[in-house]
Amino acid sequence: MPWIQIRINANEQTAEQISDYLVDTGSQAVTFMDAKDTPIYEPKLGEVKYWANTVVTGLFDADEDMDTVVAYLQQQPLLKDQFHYKIEALEDKDWEREWMDNFHPMKFGQRLWICPSWR
């Protein structure tokens, strides 16, 4: 099944609330990504940290009316002033296999290789 995703620019104070908005509109999944290359080191137990420049992505069924989703998001007080988003269509893939393509054998030193079991 094809999908539609919406990406919304956020910061560490707004990311969680934007995630809640996406869930309220029927998002099947929500992810947080670093908009820049800023590391977050191990947070304290029970602490959740977001990046200063976070992209919050909501995943929707392809038949979802994204105009309704955007209209709902534009009405939220948190997003009224600065609501920057991008909507993209995603083709359906074998997602279980898709992530495996990013892992390759790696050589450490002269004789040590770390290889994924599927390679």
Number of domains within the chain: 1
In a domain, 111, yes or no: no
112-114 and 106-108 strand pairing: antiparallel
| Domain with 63 in it | 3-93
Q: Could you tell me the CA-to-CA distances from 59 to 23, 28, 89 in Å, in that order?
A: 10, 5, 10
Query: Would residue 108 count as lying in a domain?
Result: no
Percent of the chain scored above 90 by pLDDT? 59
Q: Please tell me what DSSP assigns to residue 35.
A: S
41: domain CATH number is 3.30.70.120
pLDDT for 15-67, tens place per residue?
999 999 999 999 999 999 999 888 888 888 888 888 899 999 999 999 999 99
Report yes or no on 61 lying in a domain: yes
Residue 86 is predicted with a pLDDT of 96
Residue 53 resides in a domain: yes
- pTM to 2 decimals? 0.76
